[in-house]
Amino acid sequence: MILIVGGAGYIGSHLVKELVKREEVIVLDNLSTGHLEAVDKEALFVKGSLGDADILDSIFTRFPIKAVMHFAANSLVGESVVNPQKYYINNVASTLSLLSIMLKHNVNKFIFSSTAAVYGIPGEDLINESTATNPITPYGKSKLMMEQILADYSRAYDLHYVILRYFNAAGACETAEIGESHQPETHLIPIVLQHLLGMNERITIFGDNYNTTDGTCIRDYIHVSDLVDAHLLALDSLLNEKNKSATYNVGNGIGFSVKEVIETSEAITGRTANLVIEDRREGDPACLVASSEKIMKELGWQPRKNLEHILESAWRWHRNQNY
């Protein structure tokens, strides 16, 4: 049985939907940002917090957990700057509590959701895993702290991990049953598509004076199902291979500016957006694009979806929502 912490959230629920086809799955989630209806019915669901040692202890006592995938976190770059306490408590302190219970129960395989935000403002155009980490926000720092703690734990204890540094997750599952749903929504792609469906009068572009091709920020958007594939391969490698701990970037390797995302969305939906340019958002680096060569080479991962696929799948899902 595999424990998925944060499995009711956007990326976690997509992973659970696939994983139930090959493993028994138990989800722990406090539903702070996730949705119970997004959790596949084949999975066992426990409502609770990853900082609650009693709940975790009872899960590890009652179920034969082989590995843990940890998606639960607070993950808004801007919010972390104004409320760092929330980020260090949930993303670091509560995660340490989860690791303690795992060690107590001799569960030693861990897959951790990290982020491109650990690189801060990178000095190079294409970021690989050796690019210096220098996070500029409490969110990015909280994730890097956990990465460093995992490295120390695995040196000292019998603990093996795969850290996946996702770039910008986007898109929805092919059947449009689940998708990205946050309240409030802060991510670019859902905001753009919701606007094109009639929500909110305009889209705000946070800064058009960056040192990029059109002045707006460039990001590497990766389809959520490609992220799911990366997790399944990481799990296989921990369960079946040599228990080698590793850290991988997971991105498409192609950057799109905010304006390009909006233009492509307009082309796909046949609708026109109202735009307004405002000041830069605090904590936003100009450009984040991944080299994912390492996970391709070591785990055989390959991204299958480009920006059009991402936007088409997200559009199918958003059109089914009652906005």
Ligand X SMILES: O=c1ccn([C@@H]2O[C@H](COP(=O)(O)OP(=O)(O)O[C@H]3O[C@H](CO)[C@@H](O)[C@H](O)[C@H]3O)[C@@H](O)[C@H]2O)c(=O)[nH]1
Ligand Y SMILES: NC(=O)c1ccc[n+]([C@@H]2O[C@H](COP(=O)([O-])OP(=O)(O)OC[C@H]3O[C@@H](n4cnc5c(N)ncnc54)[C@H](O)[C@@H]3O)[C@@H](O)[C@H]2O)c1
- Candidates 52, 126, 151, 206; binder of ligand X (CB under 6 A) is 206
- Candidates 26, 67, 87, 90; binder of ligand Y (CB under 6 A) is 90
Q: Which stretch binds ligand Y (CB under 6 A): 47-55, 79-87, 118-126, 202-210?
A: 47-55
Establish whether 10 is a catalytic residue: no
Under the criterion CB under 6 A, does residue 187 sit at the interface with ligand X? yes
- Candidates 4, 56, 69, 116; binder of ligand X (CB under 6 A) is 116
Sequence letter at residue 89: I
Q: Which stretch binds ligand Y (CB under 6 A): 4-12, 17-25, 58-66, 255-263?
A: 4-12
- Taking CB within 5 to 8 Å according to partner kind, which of ligand X, ligand Y, none is near residue 224? none
Size of the residue set binding ligand X (CB under 6 A): 20
C-alpha torsion sign, points 121, 122, 125, 127: negative
Under the criterion CB under 6 A, does residue 258 sit at the interface with ligand X? yes
Q: Are 127 and 120 in contact (CB under 8 A)?
A: no
Catalytic-role residue among 87, 139, 161, 221: 139
Q: Which stretch binds ligand Y (CB under 6 A): 23-31, 234-242, 263-271, 278-286?
A: 23-31
- Candidates 16, 30, 127, 135; binder of ligand Y (CB under 6 A) is 30
Q: How far apart are CA 126 and CA 133, in angstroms?
A: 14
C-beta of 105 vs 281, nearer to ligand X = 281
What contacts 286, CB < 8 A, 6 or more positions away? 121, 210, 211, 212, 217, 218
DSSP codes of every residue in 210-259: SSSSSSS-EE-EEEHHHHHHHHHHHHHHHHHS----EEEEE--S--EEHH
* Contacts with ligand X, 276-295, as mask; x by CB under 6 A: -----x--x---x-------
Write down the H helix ranges in the chain.
10-19, 53-62, 77-82, 84-87, 94-104, 138-156, 188-196, 224-240, 258-269, 293-299, 307-319
C-beta of 5 vs 288, nearer to ligand X = 288
Closest CA to 123 of 287, 323, 308, 292: 287
Under the criterion CB under 6 A, does residue 310 sit at the interface with ligand X? no
- Taking CB within 5 to 8 Å according to partner kind, which of ligand X, ligand Y, none is near residue 33? ligand Y
Q: Are 312 and 170 in contact (CB under 8 A)?
A: no
Q: What are residue 249's phi and psi, to 5 degrees?
A: -75, 145
Q: Which residues bind ligand X (CB under 6 A)?
A: 75, 77, 115-117, 167-168, 186-188, 191, 204-206, 217, 219, 258, 281, 284, 288
Q: Which residues does the annotation mark as catalytic?
A: 139
